[in-house]
Structure 1
């Protein structure tokens, strides 16, 4: 609003100075009232500026101390001077038409100091992307011309007024009665001269007479040169921008043509290249990519999602993939247009791009097609909504087939490098895509077999085989990553990886030796990972190829806490030599291992080849501590080995008083009892 008032003042203030008489009135006319109202609003604006937030680093600062400091050090003085109505306040102290009165009236031009606000407003509007640029530029130039003509007309008349319209003024020379005529005639006459001078037409019917008027006329002419150059330069730049684009395109075509002629490129190939470049220019595909590249990454991703997501959503290959996968895939897409006859893939060459057909047709052909094009050598026609070369890109192989554009085509091109990175980042989604592709190609394979199309059969068998091998490789890679996460304790990665619908199959994946993720986590004593896997439904009794259970790995690590966790989850102890594993621990006098084995569920009644139980072994070793532990876990001291000896008999043979007392306490026998039982 204030800027609009400033523009109004920019027109009425010079006009008032030039055409209004400096006379004293008992009452105020409408012009005086309007000036007073404007001055009041300007003073109010000065006060409001002490409370307007200032922008710092793209954010609004509402700190009043900072606001006041910046304003006082900035435009406060200018705004204050431009807001004080000195011409109205002291006009009554001067004589009408005196030099003092005219000087005081000229002080009203101080209100024009606020024109800096108009400059700032124009700069802000120029940077506003919502502003129609051509219309804005035209308005700006029109305003500049109007102000230049208006100010020139007012100043010229004021110069004659300073000399009281005497014989040495242009007014007297043109029409001595002009000062007595109405404002309209005075203004249009002055404006006529200003326009004639600004446009350098110079009819000569109105000419400056005094030296002051001639000097002013020369200044106007010089300034007009700058204004004209500025306006014409900008208009020329706008008008010729499209011409410059066309010239750049023609120059590029000319260089390309010379290159192809210099290198003896066949005429047919040259025609295809020229047609493709012309199509690309007509569709402005490069302009689209430049616009997207100009945007910040988040905005670019949002634009790509808006433009391309419908195509991806309509494709049945991506119906079961995650939204994050689709968003990353959209970042790989760019639009390309191809002329009929263009080969977009060639069998045996590296697969650098896969294509989604939006418009047009693409024929997938056999090698015979290149020599003798025919319907028989065409394997399939990719229509809108279908992918071309997708298997080659996903599997990282060379192209399995040659693809020829048969009608002007609009394709979404996906970089192979970016697509593989997305597949690696989202292996589960990649498997779903490959599963959908295998299902689709099996149908195509059956159709080719029914039609006895040998080229089609060979192609689809190759595609299915490549997908199966890639799925296997991807599974091994994913399994390796999960194992690394399990052994390193990376619960975050595991939790994310095992949160999908196929988590149950993944959580029990086995390596070449049959070890599961739970085996690996237990071996590395990653308690947090073990709890996560159990919570996710890992098989607590899974065994390796050699028969080792998860519990056996916890026993080997002698981690009592893990054994308790697994035991509570229903885990059972199993090893290839599980019947004698407790015997070995006792014979080695490994008390902690014996304790862990018993905690894991190792049985105390298993016998070795001599028929001995672990308690027999403890008796022969004279280990009362281990024997007490075995007895506390239910070991039976009355069991006989192959020699017919019980553990207590063995102790009596060895005259181990401590063991005998321990067994007798258990059996509640007298010390005199002996022997074989």
Structure 2
């Protein structure tokens, strides 16, 4: 019809015959040009939706154009009736212009338009009127009927016109409100473009989005619609390959389809995990944002999924995902996905295996040493997945795998268990899950490292405390093994960290050796000096591997460790050591009677109120009387000994010098400390209860 409406039939006939012909057939063919009015209608419709033009002006222009066109058509028909009537004087135009055919074209056209507008805008101009009474009565009721009929027709036409333009009017109102909001808040141009683009997309896609209709349908019908529309796409997603149909239908019915305009950020980098998206149509770009610089890493198409890494690993989003074209996405809540996985454990394992296999293929995880001897493609590859889950820090997945019956002590090619990996990376939640499933704390990897050693080397203090107190129940020599391992490796920083956690410096390992003996045997001079200056005792003879140089250093340190020398507490610096009081240089009666005088460590404050950051202690020779001991402690710490009391490390008061033994720890407690401790009995209760509440 578009082609036929543009063909000049009269011109073609003139070119063929050489004559200008006119007739009814040519007039009817010429009326095909009215088909082009559709183009005009679509043109005005596009202008009404274009936010660059005023909707009011476009609407007024459209109504004016329609009115002028109808007036023109009516005027042409009026003139056609007059021109074809045989009696020229008995026509509406002949009555005014007798020889109207001889008048100019412009005069005849203006006259026709005038009569057309008069007829359209009035109820008549008197050419027809009632003559007798009956005709008048009939015309009264007939005009009343026409009045109601006209009102009915006008009302219905008005409703049709208003309903046809309602969506456009709401769209323009929302655009105006959004523009006012942007101007009022002075938002940047990029946000303004995104807001307006979203408004336009929502208007265009309103007829496509049938979510409101689908929500009104019964669950069975709704499930059938979702299965027909989205199941083929969801089956293509790598995460759900091999998952049962029941779980797939459950996930599909919980999804929400959305249309996202181009250049719209669906997920932003470092955003908290909340939703997972499946691409039904369109394209989504993966963007890495670094210091306001954006780099496109890849593009996702139909059947792809994004946001699953953050949702499953419960960590912030690693990249920004932005639509490249108009895209339809299925949005799935993180809680819904986790709930579906918890409902069916078999499908949960399948999803976890698919996820980990995909991450290994993408090299998103550092799994170079986590691959065991078994084949990854079969069931034997599951232990490798368990180690990989521990490497990601996903405690939820780790617990699901362990509940499925996997071995918590499985090792990789380097002998590392999941507990080794979790302890070295500082994943406390994973450590708790592994302990809950009775993993072995004492397993050593190929390099002889235990989870305890990896935790202290990584300075993950909470994890170390947790593992240490669990290990002490099954292995009494745990502290000695750790200290001896640090001495064997000449690791002074690790030794300081271990002592900071309160490990006894003279603890023995499973072979009965102390850290000092191991250090002397391996001739680690710096470590020997450190241990001696921190109060380590030489338990037995000189180790066989000790060189003369090491022995000389040891003897020199022992001579320097005199009465009153300050003890170095790792992480806490103190004053330089001071010489002992002159009164203590004499040999006490104890040494004359029983041999060498015992040495004790003295501290300030109640033992239940101290912490690793408290003031350093002192190592002194035990005097003859309890009063002398109080005086020494008062001078060392600068406290008033009047009313103060001496207690041991269990809080019991010491009132006699005879009950004190070598290497005892004594504390001087002032009156203020006692009052504070009595005023806060809950603290004392919590402190005492720690020993009975260590996790097993």
TM interval, shorter chain, is: 0.3 to 0.5
Q: Which has the higher helix share?
A: 1
TM-score between both structures, scaled by the size of structure 1: 0.35
Question: Structure 2 length as normaliser, TM-score?
Answer: 0.34
